[in-house]
Amino acid sequence: AQKITQTQPGMFVQEKEAVTLDCTYDTSDPSYGLFWYKQPSSGEMIFLIYQGSYDQQNATEGRYSLNFQKARKSANLVISASQLGDSAMYFCAMREDPGGSEKLVFGKGTKLTVNP
């Protein structure tokens, strides 16, 4: 069963506007972590923001904020004041801790295009 769902294959936004990328997750573990990564066409995965399941406040990192709604199991990424350089694939990922080890499970990604 898919554990991370990103329902938007592609999104378009005008430069300087805000955009929200959706992510829902499924886990029965009370302790988990949620990450957002950006992947430009060059291929490198760039860490953007992290939210722990016990964190009381929504995470923010510069222009990135995470709208964490635990009861709904959603962790949407909000990018404010979009820039042309924000055009990339965006992946939501969840940390799982099977047997003391650790793995990231990624959603299918959302391709964001910022228009001038």
Residues near another protein (CB under 8 A) are 33, 35, 37, 42-47, 50, 52, 91, 95, 97-98, 100-109
Q: Give min distance, CB of 1 to another protein, in A.
A: 16
Q: Give min distance, CB of 60 to another protein, in A.
A: 15
The answer to whether 95 and 31 have CB atoms below 8 angstroms apart is no
Nearer to another protein, 13 or 93 (CB): 93
User: Which residues lie across from 4 on neighbouring strands?
Assistant: 25
| 77: three-class secondary structure by DSSP | strand
